Structure 1
């Protein structure tokens, strides 16, 4: 008897790379999961936060040994079934790894940012705003879901999509969210710079379980007695959506949280600290969808304060353009139904 199809998500998270790959691939699993009899997340060294995210999306977690992609690919038959649909989201899953997935008989979905290497995937998903099919070296049978309409966002954000709204003449409240770990200390730098701006009266700071500098942040905030600073820990999706709607602007990296902010119509001040974030930061700035400060890793002190002030002034004076008119989750569902029922 053929076993019922499973959805198998392969993604990692760590203090160094953050939770972004896991968050967006689980958002996809949340969307298409009802099509499958079972859904699991394959990952290395899952943290408590990863377990919580997987449970919220309805996935079990299978912990893989800490090893490189080549060694892991050799062990894939022990984890996969021929009827599986496998989602890969990360930067170690090269063409050889993808070939190993397909050799098990499973169908393959690649969640990709870069379009910089050959792929043998059945379906490629890339939410980049300027990406084209011609950018890929793929099989003739590969199908594509490309562009902002295929942004992989969690249900509370999809449910509250709205066009950009005008901000107050003076932006006095700002939310800061640099992910659950923030190994570069961008949260501390941004908080200090914002508190030094006279117009900013209220700041919210989102930090996760992997964040290790909470004491230092509170000490920094205590030095600005006239400011209202609130800290939010391990914020679930629905609460984060409410926070983004509750502050006049948000300081976020050019990652999933930027897309979440823009989908809610929010005013975002962004930038990049990883190569895969740079194109998105440049695009939203060029198209007046958000303000980009550029390379966040090089900004500190007066330079960061001036960049944040320029971002606030942008939002106070500019009519922002929508990042995407409408998401297309129904097409993603259709593509996964095609993978389940059709021969490769």
Structure 2
């Protein structure tokens, strides 16, 4: 979109209220799914609430759901009952690759969600779920005015009015055959859904990177980290030649099954290492870090906004395209997956390369900082309005 058109939309958005409008979200978190889908929906919901909207989440009660967090943030949450294994048959005309993540058939989920939407009568339904596609979305049309889909995969059809894929390297053509002809496509990190504190800390964070250092390390492998990649990385770091005054901060989610084991590993590190659980000041911690070690998920755009140089790790198949795109952009160094046979060697070589020539940190900061300025939520809301 031309900058002048976007600026006009943003100006309109800043002066427009959404009082008494209801926005519904269908997203899940679990030990298998992780927390990213619900977390980015929460970011959008917070921004919509600033405009006066009332946000309602519809989530299934998987182990590791985030219903209480949603409510703590001031939003409503309908928690759908978990379904027994005998009722989880997902056979039908819709079979996305991630269909099992739903925990029931798409038809049952559509019916249960529709019952809630019929009472809410929302102006928008925002769908952020790899297990849902056009068949499910079409069944909700009768209950809502507009449907927005948040996706990363471009691997299934959608029945929506607005589609967001915030990932670098994605093209509008990737979705043209997946959506109706009149669907608006918001593609790329300029639309990344980031909390406002990232935009507020951007200038400070970029300024301190003009003199590169390698002292403060930040490790964040996602809200669940089911394979315990965090512990694996700490073990590898013991073999790396980090500076003597290095300090390591490890951020973990409250639902991580490996928390106590990671705490034990941290106590054996040669450098000061702290374990932080369920932090609410992630932007501040990123801004103070000199190098991040993190998964190539949606947190990538938070790091880019703050110009944080990153050693990037692939923890899921849907992170491969993000990792490759950022690596080619020069905004991060892609290490690969912990399952790769050369992962440990690649990791140690990357640390050694950065320590011997910290100009690599400066280059990564410069290349990633240009991708997003942290105002993606407001760019998206401009289209919704």
What is the TM-score normalised by the length of structure 2? 0.79
Corresponding residue for residue 94 of structure 1: 133
Deviates more, 1:31-40 or 1:294-303: 294-303
Shift of 1:36: 5.0
Shift of 1:166: 3.7
Q: Name the CA distance, whole Å, in 1 between partners of 2:337 and 2:249.
A: 23
Q: Name the CA distance, whole Å, in 2 between partners of 1:85 and 1:250.
A: 36
Deviates more, 1:295-304 or 1:274-283: 295-304
Any idea what SS the aligned residue of 1:279 has?
A: helix
Deviates more, 1:274-283 or 1:308-317: 308-317
Any idea what SS the aligned residue of 2:358 has?
A: helix
| C-alpha distance after superposition, 1:184-217 (max 9, x if no partner) | 1100011121233232431111111111223322
Structure 1 gaps of 5+ residues are: 338-344
Corresponding residue for residue 76 of structure 2: 60
Corresponding residue for residue 332 of structure 1: 380
| Alignment pair present for 1:145 and 2:145 | no
Paired residues of 2:47 and 2:378 also in contact (CA < 8 A): no
Paired residues of 1:131 and 1:147 also in contact (CA < 8 A): yes
Corresponding residue for residue 129 of structure 1: 168
1:249–1:133 Cα change, 3 Å: same
| C-alpha distance after superposition, 1:246-300 (max 9, x if no partner) | 2211101011222111111111111212121111100111111111112233268
Corresponding residue for residue 230 of structure 1: 274
Deviates more, 1:75-84 or 1:12-21: 75-84
Paired residues of 1:7 and 1:33 also in contact (CA < 8 A): no
Paired residues of 1:126 and 1:146 also in contact (CA < 8 A): yes
Paired residues of 1:168 and 1:316 also in contact (CA < 8 A): no
Q: Name the CA distance, whole Å, in 1 between partners of 2:254 and 2:142.
A: 38
Paired residues of 1:175 and 1:251 also in contact (CA < 8 A): yes
Shift of 1:244: 1.2
Any idea what SS the aligned residue of 1:252 has?
A: strand
Q: Name the CA distance, whole Å, in 2 between partners of 1:333 and 1:130.
A: 22
1:258–1:223 Cα change, 3 Å: same
Structure 2 gaps of 5+ residues are: 1-18, 83-103
Corresponding residue for residue 30 of structure 1: 46
Any idea what SS the aligned residue of 2:227 has?
A: coil
Paired residues of 2:22 and 2:123 also in contact (CA < 8 A): yes
Paired residues of 1:8 and 1:85 also in contact (CA < 8 A): yes
| C-alpha distance after superposition, 1:4-46 (max 9, x if no partner) | 5311111111112210000111111111234454211110116
How do 1:183-198 residues align onto structure 2 when only pairs under 5 Å count? Answer: 183-198=226-241
| Alignment pair present for 1:205 and 2:250 | yes
What is the TM-score normalised by the length of structure 1? 0.87
Q: Name the CA distance, whole Å, in 2 between partners of 1:202 and 1:290.
A: 21
Shift of 1:329: 3.6
How do 1:162-181 residues align onto structure 2 when only pairs under 5 Å count? Answer: 162=203, 163=206, 166=209, 171-181=214-224
Any idea what SS the aligned residue of 1:62 has?
A: strand
Deviates more, 1:113-122 or 1:324-333: 324-333
Deviates more, 1:215-224 or 1:46-55: 46-55
